[in-house]
Structure 1
Amino acid sequence: MAFLCVTRNMLSVLPLLVLISMTPFSSSYTPSDKVTKELVVQLCSKPAVYKNFCIAWLNSDPKTVTLDLHGLLGMVMKKTIGFGYKTIRMTQGLVNTTTDPNLKMIYGSCLTDYEQSTKGIDVAKGFASSKDYFSAFMAAFRAQNSISDCETLIEAQPIPAYFSRRVILFERMCSIGMFFSTILYKGK
């Protein structure tokens, strides 16, 4: 039992180490850099980000190109939180309506993960708004881990595709917030 706990804790730190190692130690980005479509493509092309999702998600909002990087991070966090709360409500409905005990357990566990993750992104947003990008990164990292627990739980389970898709999208949103926080932290 202790071995499983140690293994799980090591595995949860592994993405953090990978992300930090793939992010340059010095960044040419500053919080006041103006966001352009080209900058979005450049940021979304980093190895730690799901490029196609990131570009489409950010460019779908016309406000994106009116912001600086600090504002972009705030927008990413705000949109992630909104998506998280919508999914919490959907998941609560699934917990209440499913008659399958296995699905009820999975949805219940994922509901807890969504609540923790959404709260973590909200905390990260607070840190980001005060320009404490390292703390924002750490809070977003913890949020990412929480939703990754749900993602791991639903793998190889007969879960409706729409639910699995929301988990993946939310995980990607969290990773974008985490990565952008890292860029701004290292660019300060």
Structure 2
Amino acid sequence: MAVSGVRSNVFSFLPLLLILSITPLSSSSSFSPSDKVTKALLDQLCSQPTIYKHFCIPWLTSDPTTFTLDLKGLVPVVFQKAEMLGYKNLAMIEGLHRTTNDPTLKIPYGSCITGYEFSNTALKKAKQLARSKAYVSASKAAFEAFDSINMCESLLEGLATPANVSKRNMWYERMCNTGMAFSDILAFGL
């Protein structure tokens, strides 16, 4: 009697096991470098766990050229856009360094200038590496850019800087992070 009860329970689970065996366990799909950039693709890409979706989607959809690219073309563009903001942020920090009367800000601003110079060079390298499809190396270069500005942000924490300094550093970090994540997607087929 006990055997027939076990047998009926096993048979009731067979349809569930069959469905689970043919259904992917993860909702994420694999991406191809030749995937055309669409709003749906951006939604998937920007939904990766390390990306700030509410920043990524508006940032990338605000430029209509985004939708003329495939995924392998998008990655260098992401680095280029981050690099452009990096140069604007560098000019802002240089101006603050030049005009501040607060001696407690001179050294951190100076360190941030060095950080942005290094970071912009790293993003230029990441952009070139992404164009040559060296996505692992591109991701590493983007991490170096991110880390450099993260250090700048740490040095400025708690100091009396204009509000837009922290915001623009954060945008820059998110752009670098997006480039890293997209490079990793292409490198590892996540």
- TM-score per shorter chain, which class? 0.7 to 0.9
Question: Structure 1-normalised TM-score?
Answer: 0.83
In 1, distance between residues paired with 2:156 and 2:93? Answer: 13
Structure 1 unmatched ranges of 5 or more: 1-23
In 2, distance between residues paired with 1:96 and 1:35? Answer: 42
Aligned pairs for 1:167-186 within 5 A: 167-186=169-188
Structure 2 unmatched ranges of 5 or more: 1-25
1:107-136 CA deviation, whole Å, 9 max, x = no partner? 111111111111111111110010111110
Whether the 8 Å contact between 1:27 and 1:183 is mirrored in structure 2 is no
Amino acid at match of 1:183: I
1:143 Cα deviation from its structure 2 partner: 1.1
Could you say what the CA RMSD is over the residues aligned between the two structures, in angstroms? 1.6
Whether the 8 Å contact between 1:29 and 1:183 is mirrored in structure 2 is yes
Question: Structure 2-normalised TM-score?
Answer: 0.82
Larger Cα-atom Rg = 2
In 2, distance between residues paired with 1:27 and 1:73? Answer: 18
SS at 2:31's partner residue? coil
In 2, distance between residues paired with 1:92 and 1:99? Answer: 14
TM superposition outliers: structure 1 runs of 4+ over 4 Å: none
1:187 Cα deviation from its structure 2 partner: 2.2
**Structure 2 residue 142 is the aligned partner of structure 1 residue 151:** no
Q: How many residues align?
A: 164
Instruction: Tell me whether 117-126 or 147-156 shows the greater mean CA deviation.
Output: 147-156
Aligned pairs for 1:1-188 within 5 A: 28-187=30-189
In 2, distance between residues paired with 1:155 and 1:50? Answer: 21
1:135-154 CA deviation, whole Å, 9 max, x = no partner? 10111111111111012112
